[in-house]
Structure 1
Amino acid sequence: MSSNEIKQEIYNLVDLLNKYSYKYYVEDISEITDTQYDLLYKKLEKLEEDFPELILKNSPTQRVGDVTLSEFSKVRHTTPMLSLSNTFSKEELKDFDNRIKSTLNIKYLTYICELKIDGLAVSITYKNGDLVSAATRGDGTIGEDVTENIKTIFSIPKELNSKVDIEVRGEVYLPRKSFEILNKKRLENKEPVFANPRNAASGSIRQLDSKITAQRKLSAFIYSMVNSNESTQEDNLINSKKYGLPVNENYKICNNINEVIEYIEYWDKNKANLPYDIDGIVIKVNDVSYQEKLGYTQKSPKWATSFKFPEEELATKLLDIELSVGRTGVVTPVAILEPLTISGSTVSKATLHNKDVIEELEICIGDTVVVKKAGEIIPKITKVIKELRLPNSKPYKFPDYCPSCNSKLIWEKENPFVKCENFDCKEQTIKKIIHFASRDALNIEGLGDKQIISLYENKIISGIIDLYSLNKENLLNMDRMGEKSATNLLNSIENSKISSLDKVIYALGILNVGKKAANIIAKKYENLTNLKEAKLEELIELEDIGHITALSVIEFLSYKKNTDLIDNLIEIGINPTHLHQDKKENIFTNKVVVLTGKLTKLTRNESKSYLENFGAKVTSSVTSKTDYLICGEKTGSKLEKANELNIKILTEEDFINIMKG
């Protein structure tokens, strides 16, 4: 054969094998036998071995996985990967429908319903039609780079049918056939089997050795394109398929909420016939212009929700009830169960919520109880099978004293939660410190739960403010704490002083004050000094701050230990001012700023938030319109371009000094 004939033969084999793979992995259709497929595959392998210069990027032989990583690098999503709100009943769906139509002031609305694949969410980026990167959802803002592992999945094209630049979101899953084969092999190798396909998919995509990922035979479906110009969600799916991306064909356009409910009922009865697991249905407003009008909450789009299928209920034995003291002092009972497998997961704990639930169930240790998992992270006990109760069993009595500090517990009849109001309660204090140092609060890197517990138990710290008195000598006395780790942790603690006001308010751990409420309160009071003087009537008037949240803030401020903590934070320099564009200006006001490289003392979000508060426009590319380039470690082409254009360059240290004023 001539060179051109060989090239054409390779092209034909790659095209044919990829089509067979798409049919098999996406549509569950076997157009040829495994033996026939293997013969074609081996023929392609032999040609590529003889003519390696003719190997195509999208050849199925290039999906075997040949990269081993030491760790996954972090990736910041260009657009947050939000989660969906959940509904569990027809009434909740109708409320969702009424709320949207009321907001849009319309009578009729078209929805698109899609199967909710039980897998792992990923984001995949193509440049000029080539797959260049892929990341897990992570916390929605920062995920893990799993590009090499995604490249091993046959249903995901390494090269699109069009030379486009797009970012798509999808779900990686393990087909049931692949799951059965995987667990069979693990049993033969005397390895623990996976509880369900979802756990197996998650574990497979996060393998550092991509060869292992390739062996697992994962698949995927794409469900959205980021920042597309399409007018409907259906158009997004249609165009995704045109590009060669795997799209689940079982979606349906519904002209009203009753059609949505019919679709849900159909798949609730027929989901077992699918070659993969689904755990519900995703309902989206089809019209993209309506989606834009409806917008987002901090966690999820307002124009979409998921209906979670009711999960099975099973009976098991209640072995014990453990009590956990939270950072706000609320004591939560948790049922310890004889382990059982429910909806594919092994369950050994279930929530009992509060004192009222225990009394309503008339629960006894040793009872046979019914456990249900319906969307919660921890399942719940729904009933006690009293006919199986042991003779002489006595109902569980909620203790009068805190299991952590032995203080008298407080219970008000109008409030079902039992509280420990001892500010020096060990478990409560530790959890307050853990919350204060967490990523969403002051983000003290290197200070994990175990380190905080060790510092507390060794009497090095007794509360939040003691973190700022730590020295290297304190830290070096701890297990597994070397010179470098101690230095890094002390730097991280010092850098936590440069935080936005909303993060500091959230870090205080006020009951019912989440990130959104903290931001609203920060805008109102502008600094901690003013917050101390907050009034109930002021808080109630704030948009999205309800009566309960307002009362929680006032109650928090009524305790001297809490106001002392605020005073101590102010004294050590943690009293940021909430910045208003119309009130504050600095060198970044109305300037175009680009961030590049790895920032070691600040997160990208903190830096961007600070700049935008001063009216700066933060962009991703260096152009002639860029005013400042702020550089972290390991900068690349952006720094070179900034030098060429004579753009003002600031180091991270320069930036921090400007922030400090």
Structure 2
Amino acid sequence: MTATHDNSDLPMSAEATTGAEATTNSDLSDATARAQAHAELVATIEAQRAAYYTDDSPLVADAEYDELVHRLEDLEEKFPELVTDSSPTQTVGGNVDTSTFDPVEHIGRMYSLDNVFDFEELRGWHDRVRAATSATSKFLCELKIDGLAVNLLYRNGELVRAATRGDGRIGEDITANVRTISDIPDRLDTDYPPAEVEIRGEVFFPLEKFTELNAALVEEGKAPFANPRNSAAGSLRQKDPAVTAERPLHMLVHGIAVWTSADDSHPEPAHQSEVYEAFRTWGLPISEYFKVLATVDEIEDFITYYGEHRHDVTHEIDGIVIKIDDIAVQETLGYTSRAPRWATAFKYPPEEVTTKLLDIQVQVGRTGRVTPFAVMEPVTVAGSTVERATLHNGYEVTRKGVLIGDTVTLRKAGDVIPEVLGPVVALRDGSEYEFVMPTHCPSCGTELGEQKAGDKDKRCPNSRSCPAQLANRIFYLASRAAFDIEALGEEAALALTAPAEPEQPPLTSEAFLFDLTAEDLADVKIWRNKKVKGVETGERELVPYFYTRATAKKPSVPSANTTKLFDELDKAKDQDLWRVLVALSIRHVGPTAARTLAAHFRTLEAIRAALLEELSAVDGIGSTIAASIRDWFSVDWHVEIIEAWAAAGVRIKDEALEAGEQTLEGLTIVATGSLSTFTRDGIKEAILGAGGKAVSSVSKKTDYVVAGENAGSKLEKAESLGVKVLDEDTFRTLLETGSLD
């Protein structure tokens, strides 16, 4: 079901002013104004709830909804007379869709959770809990699954009902659909089940399957889901269980509401953690990511760790749930009208927001691939302001179902490049229109084509002379993964290859990069916004890029950054061979493959001379990379780059590298946790440089796991598989000597 709205009553969008603003813009000293602001804010939140819980079509991201609720809580705290039993601060969830599912009453009410957003709020909750009871119960901390809350009812070990949360008291009967989820047993694996038990959990949709589902929906002409949580909800709330069965849904259980023992010999466990152990023995799926902790400092450490590793787990999370472990203490603390007092959720900064898609433009990369990207209204997500995000290719634009003018859901996970997940279809007003992929290169005008039949990417074949490709190759070869030339950034690369003046750029090929002189750059100018006393005037002016401006007293001379550029170019000539390989922009040859090739062949000439079979036989290279290398060296102007660099003094062989230094040759090693003398990239370089294979996941093929502090699930998996675990000092011994004896 999809909600539709016209702009006259839009609950929350760029086109509408809502109760969200009313709480700050109104004169709240007047009782009538307060009531109006409260009513508008309540109406906005209720509309958001309906879209989220009932229609599975959210209009805003979770963080924006949380902000609305916080405003309402602040307003009601300041003016308690506004609070009513039906206020969103006093109620849970959404309405029940009786047109599709039968309503069912939960035996025990399903509550929501109160949230905290920083450690100060967390400590405030902790202190209130401690003050309310003399007990010193520990806390169970677990990941907050971003899924759909579901209630399972088992009688004498048999699953008799599954229901959505609904409004907390009445949910929707989705038993037939839940039975299609392989994680959920029809019968508990125990000879002594409770006579009756209500088990709470979350159904979720794996992120890697989310994009595949949306693509299929778009191909069928159906509206895509906004995010994985709503894909789970929409999949589970299908009329036909056969449709649900086709979706890769999973569930994790995390609590009980009602437990009626069959006899006194098997009572309800006394602690939440013991409940989880019972679930595990019964064959129910529980999270592997939980811990019982004693102090608030330990809780903060747990929150911090998973804040840094939230993308290493098997499902989407948006925070950490903290619960009193002692069930008797839980019962003592009780509940508010909507949430338990004995639990709270620490919410991480939002990684998903909604914003307006203003346009879709294209850019040409260093390999000629023409990539569409989204131009959006600037929005803050994951701690940074984002106004552009890649859309990968024309096929992906269609697959995501986005139109120019859409309100879109934007995701930025940590340091990952921002991604447009999909449109908020319910907010379309008919003004949106489709993006059309260009047929010719926007940089050089060459007709675009496929590198091979069936490619989803369109590429500009004019790889030698296309200004955009050359500029991007120059920028890439200066990156930390290649020559590491800090003074040669993106703007400098453009100035070298496509300046406003002169007409003939200083560089027409990367082959001549190391032949540049300061005099070659004297006349290079670019367009910049004109400033007067540091303030932009709105005008544009031509300014020298590599030289200072001439004045009546001082002539134009190379700038400090230009001097630094030539110093760094000189140092770059002595970089390791693998960095030179990366700098050549050979397709599929990144730092890992480049290190492997350099360690095996020692010289660029040996790599050039190697047969396809010889390249393919190198461990970690394979046929795809080998074919790409042979193709690259078959192009005359590519070979000219190597010859020109060699003539300029660039190092193209690793004479000092001896075979005896490959102390980790043939070993597969995983590094995990915080190490005191290695960065994450540093230990990877050490492993690869010594001939080993650095991988990110533990398997039976792993030889060693190097474990630092807070090693987490990878360490646990290594121990379960019997993989040898090394501390940092032992790893250094292995690295230096090739032996642990």
TM-score by length of 2: 0.38
Q: Which has the larger radius of gyration?
A: 2
TM-score by length of 1: 0.42
